[in-house]
């Protein structure tokens, strides 16, 4: 049964709208809505694309702490007291049985020389041996004088160290003054030991020279006559220079002897860095095969030398000699000629405000950083001080805890929005 349309208010009834016409109207309005939404989406995408995006950056924090300025260079270990034992006269050398690393005592036989008749009976050789005896006697007297001088220097250094410790106890001296006095005391002890070694070597050389002269006076004709070459000191064989049997000339090096337990490190540094390195500067030795070692600069040699760098550039360099402060068991595996990396501390300070070196750049005639406040980067002029390879001191312009941009690119401008790179 069909429903009749409702009568109009005025009594006249409207004709019923077909259902197909209603559906067409709904579809038209749907299409219009979808078109409007598409247009709005395109406009929003274009607006978003043209809007400035935050620049991703690396951030760093301004920190206050300890800062050390160092000179970093490679160095080589070397034996302090190295003795090259040479042939006292011309003769036939028997094969040396010692090998590098062998321990020798004072007076140990290092080599044997069998005399050659003709050279050893020569009158000129006799006069030469007499001159060697005289020279050895003078060297012995000179060594005795050096011992007296070294003893006097050691006595003075000990009194100075005692005085500095007393002054520090009373507050009239600093720890650095005490350390310097103790370093001078150890250096004086080493100088005395070296002078005593030198005296024993001089006595040994005089004994050898007298023996050679006595053999010349006897004619050197005995077949079983041998000249024994003895070790002047206690130590270890560092190198056998002439190992095989054969004729050697007087003065030919035979064996190198030293004490591997008495090492020092020679670090060649640029002369521009050497002016900042002073005796007593603390040193850290790394990458030698063990843990970090502590040391002190004993001296900076007064004479420089030229070295060609890996880039082919001539560099003026000078050796800084470093004494090890750690006990021998800690570095007993170190030997002569080993490579180490040395960090020489030329300045240090506590409570120093600093930022990474990558955050600081040139701005006009000064320096500046990009400080981040909120989500904006602002150009901030700063005054810098000392710098290391990784950090630089900030004297003014920033506060502790501030955030700065590290490695700012050319996209970072004053006032631009930034975000931390993930």
Element (H, E) at 70: strand 63-79
C-alpha 77 chain-centroid distance: 13
Q: Which two tokens stand for residue 30?
A: 């749907």
- Start-end of H helices in 55-174: 117-121, 123-169
Q: Which two tokens stand for residue 74?
A: 């490679």
pLDDT in tens, 51-106: 567 889 999 999 999 999 999 999 999 998 888 999 988 888 989 989 988 999 98
pLDDT in tens, 235-244: 889 999 988 8
**181 confidence band (pLDDT: 50, 70, 90):** confident
3-class DSSP assignment, residue 167: helix
As a whole number of angstroms, the distance between CA 191 and CA 101 comes to 25
Tell me which fold the domain 81-258 belongs to: OB fold (Dihydrolipoamide Acetyltransferase, E2P) (2.40.50)
Contact status, residue 361 vs residue 367, Cβ threshold 8 Å: yes
pLDDT for 49 beyond 90: no
As a whole number of angstroms, the distance between CA 376 and CA 397 comes to 17
Mean pLDDT, range 104-114, rounded to an integer? 89
Neighbours of 399 (CB within 10 A): 10
Q: Which residue has the tokens 């100088």?
A: 191
pLDDT of residue 374: 87
What are the residue ranges spanned by the domains of the chain? 56-67+350-420, 68-76+261-348, 81-258
**For residue 175, what are the CA distances in angstroms to 161, 165, 309?**
11, 9, 39
Q: Does domain 56-67+350-420 have CATH number 2.40.420.20?
A: yes
- The model carries a pTM of 0.57
Query: Please, which residues have CB within 8 angstroms of residue 181's CB and are 6 or more apart in sequence?
Result: 157, 160, 161, 163, 164, 165
Q: Which region among 150-154, 264-268, 344-348, 357-361 has the lowest average model confidence (pLDDT)?
A: 150-154
68-76+261-348 and 81-258 share one CATH topology?
no
CATH code that applies to domain 68-76+261-348: 2.40.30.170
């Amino acid at each position: 049964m069909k429903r009749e349309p409702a009568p109009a208010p005025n009594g006249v009834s409207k004709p019923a709208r077909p259902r197909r016409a209603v559906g067409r109207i709904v579809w038209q309005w749907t299409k219009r809505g979808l078109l409007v939404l598409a247009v709005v989406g395109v406009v929003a995408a274009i607006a978003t694309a043209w809007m400035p995006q935050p620049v991703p950056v690396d951030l760093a924090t301004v920190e206050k702490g300890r800062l050390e300025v160092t000179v970093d260079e490679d160095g080589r270990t070397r034996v302090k007291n190295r003795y090259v034992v040479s042939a006292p006269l011309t003769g036939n050398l028997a094969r040396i049985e010692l090998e590098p690393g062998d321990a020798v005592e004072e007076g140990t036989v290092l080599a044997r020389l069998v005399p050659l008749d003709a050279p050893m009976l020569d009158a000129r050789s006799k006069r030469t041996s007499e001159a060697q005896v005289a020279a050895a006697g003078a060297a012995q007297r000179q060594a005795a004088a050096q011992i007296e001088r070294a003893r006097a220097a050691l006595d003075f250094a000990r009194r100075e160290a005692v005085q500095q410790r007393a002054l520090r106890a009373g507050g009239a001296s600093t720890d650095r003054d005490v350390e310097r006095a103790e370093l001078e005391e150890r250096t004086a002890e080493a100088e005395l030991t070296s002078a005593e070694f030198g005296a024993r070597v001089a006595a040994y050389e005089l004994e050898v020279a007298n023996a050679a002269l006595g053999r010349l006076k006897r004619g050197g004709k005995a077949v079983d006559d041998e000249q024994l070459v003895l070790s002047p000191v206690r130590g270890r064989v560092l190198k056998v220079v002439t190992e095989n049997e054969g004729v050697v000339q007087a003065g030919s090096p035979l064996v190198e002897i030293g004490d591997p337990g008495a090492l020092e490190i020679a670090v060649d540094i640029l002369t521009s860095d050497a002016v900042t390195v002073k005796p007593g500067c603390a040193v850290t030795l790394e990458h030698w095969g063990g843990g970090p070692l502590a040391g002190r600069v004993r001296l900076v040699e007064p004479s420089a030398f030229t070295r060609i760098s890996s880039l082919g550039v001539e560099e003026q360099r000078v050796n800084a000699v470093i004494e090890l402060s750690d006990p021998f068991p800690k570095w007993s595996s170190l030997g002569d000629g080993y490579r180490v990396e040395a960090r020489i501390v030329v300045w240090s300070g506590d409570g120093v405000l600093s930022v990474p070196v990558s955050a600081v750049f040139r701005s006009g005639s000064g320096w500046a950083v990009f400080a981040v406040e909120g989500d904006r980067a602002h150009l901030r002029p700063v005054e810098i001080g000392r710098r290391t390879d990784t950090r630089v001191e900030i004297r003014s312009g920033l506060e502790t805890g501030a955030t700065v941009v590290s490695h700012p690119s050319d996209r970072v401008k004053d006032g631009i929005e930034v975000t931390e790179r993930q």
